[in-house]
Amino acid sequence: MKTEFNNGATLGQLLRFLRPLRALMAFSITMRILNQSLGIALITGACAGVMVMAGHALSGGYASVSLGTIAFALGMIGLVKGLCRYLEQFSGHAVAFHLLSLLRHRLYERLELLAPAGLGHLRSGDVISRVISDVDRMEIFYAHTIAPALTAIVVPPLTLLALTFLDVRLALSLVPFLLAVGVLVPWGTYRLGRRSAEQSRAAVAELNAHFVDSMQGVRDVIASGYETERLAEIRRRGERLAYHQLGLARAGAWQIMLSDLLIGLGIVTALYLGTQAVTAGTLTALELVMAITLVIGAFVPLLGISNLIPDLAQALSGAQRLFDLMNQQPEIDEQEGLCDVDLSEATLTFRNVSFAYRSRPDQPVLREVSFVIAPGETVALVGPSGTGKSTIVQLLLRFWEPGTGVIWLGGHRIDHLAPELLRAHIAVVSQHTHLFRVSIRDNLRLAKTDATEDELIAAARLANLHDFIRALPQGYNTMVGEMGATLSGGQRQRMAIARAILKDAPFLILDEATAHLDADNEQSILQSLRVWLAQPCRHGRRTLLVIAHRASSIAQADRILRLEEGRIVEEFSSPGNSNTTAFREA
């Protein structure tokens, strides 16, 4: 029952996405109905023409119709049918591809709201599978399901109505076969293949995720001599996917076999009853041929939808995976918050802040942490790995919400501020920097899209990066490999520092920012940062929070806070202590 309910809710959500284009979809449906109806008329008329050529006259007032007239009418029907077919295909796919684009856009919007807290349980390959593979599956629903389904509801009854004018018994005998092919067989096929469809989509996601992991870690795999084992893991996942796809193929084979069998039985039944009617003199041979073409034509729209059932099952499973993600509530509410608050010269205050991840609610990362950082102050945060130093940064950026306690910035609770306002006043340089596969210039402009060339060069100089960039053949237009693969760890860190400088935010956080730099580069950059920090920004004095293990990184700090087991256990106001107690067991 739960799956049936989920499928109903999924269908409803898919149809709601259709609302902006419902007029175009209605046009596509109309063209398909006309195309199918004209197709039946074309075959029936062609058969009538053949029978007239064989010497059988049309009945009633149509007896005087010539073969030329029949041929002309069939030609016009064929032309209109072709036009309807083109318009149906074009409009149906226009709707589908526009909605796929809209789905991807909405999905990315939701991912931004959920990240990072709401995506921690997902692998990147799984997310990619949902964004690309699962969304592409929606094309089956929008382009190949809605119009055929409604056509299958409209055209067969119209065909039965036409058949009643020839022989009521034939029309009535056809009803159970139409219901079986149009309702019972698709329903049974769906039930048979539903589980395989769900497992198939999950297996695709797992294979994609594993493959992405393998490509991202290929150097470590090769260096560790783990190639054979990793290939075996991928092979096992591929075989698992093939097994579930075989289950879908089995359901599709049953559907084709049963549909063909029932259609054959329906035609044989119509032939038998029609032959009896011809013998009894209630039908002519010409009318029997026309009746059989109508019988065959009544099944055509049903095949259009029933042949899609296995693919539709996968589409619904993919849609359910999409909507499970899109319907997920974000950890924080980014829709509301103050946008016109002045945060210049803002004091940062943590007051009794505690936090634990949802996956480990009984293992607090922070325990009643309290501290104050005044405008223009440089504060260092030290302590052993895993004590919650980086978590403080994540809470300040509102990637997560504190379990208890309050964070204030400039006299305002940060959960009362619009996230874009809050983050515009904070620049972060972390230990792990992501660079996009674009030019160095575009990677730097991520921090300030309208930065001038002079601003780019000034930021790169302060990050001790300009001379390196200038020596490259294409300078600032040099393309950076995926995730900055063409740069060293130190160069990536300097890119991140240049970004932060370019952003010109009043609050700068260095989270192990110089961990990948050698001593000379570190001292050069720290000296440049000290000069830069002494200059006022557009929001007032600059404030610096440094998270580091090296004594050299915090030598100029005004205060040092030591964090252990989620608590601030010591505070030093003199940087002279940074080489002793503050770094004990750090």
pLDDT, tens digit (0-9, with 9 covering 90-100), for 521-537: 777 777 777 777 777 67
Query: 412 with 347: CB under 8 angstroms?
Result: no
- Place domain 19-326 in its CATH homologous superfamily: ABC transporter type 1, transmembrane domain (1.20.1560.10)
Among 58-72, 336-350, 503-517, where is mean pLDDT lowest?
Answer: 58-72
For 324-387, give the DSSP string.
HHHTSPPSS--S--BSS---TTPPEEEEEEEE--TT-TTS-SEEEEEEEE-TT-EEEEE-STTS
Among 27-41, 123-137, 400-414, where is mean pLDDT lowest?
Answer: 123-137
CATH number for the segment(s) 348-583:
3.40.50.300
Per-residue HEC secondary structure of 72-138 comes to HHHHHHHHHHHHHHHHHHHHHHHHHHHHHHHHHHHHHHHHHHHCCHHHCCCCHHHHHHHHHHHHHHH
Residue at token pair 């230990």: 431
Among 68-82, 257-271, 506-520, where is mean pLDDT lowest?
Answer: 506-520
Tokens of 174: 């056809």
More confident residue, 195 or 219: 195
% pLDDT > 90, the chain: 18
Q: For position 173, what pLDDT does the model report?
A: 93
Backbone angles phi, psi at 27, to 5 degrees: -65, -45
Is the pTM for the entire model greater than 0.75? no
What is the rounded average pLDDT of the residues 225-237?
85
The three-class DSSP label of residue 405 is: strand
pLDDT at 502 over 50: yes
What is the rounded average pLDDT of the residues 261-285?
90
Could you check whether the bond before residue 157 is cis, i.e. omega within 30 degrees of 0? no
Residue boundaries of the structural domains of the chain: 19-326, 348-583
Query: 156 with 266: CB under 8 angstroms?
Result: no
pLDDT at 101 over 80: yes
What is the rounded average pLDDT of the residues 459-480?
88
The three-class DSSP label of residue 568 is: strand
What is the rounded average pLDDT of the residues 150-175?
91
Q: For position 423, what pLDDT does the model report?
A: 85
Q: Please tell me the distance from the alpha carbon of residue 63 to that of residue 284, in angstroms, as a whole number.
A: 13
Q: For position 551, what pLDDT does the model report?
A: 65
Q: Please tell me the distance from the alpha carbon of residue 286 to that of residue 290, in angstroms, as a whole number.
A: 6
The three-class DSSP label of residue 39 is: helix
- Tens of pLDDT along 201-213? 788 878 877 877 7
Q: For position 582, what pLDDT does the model report?
A: 43
83 pLDDT band, cuts 50/70/90, is very high
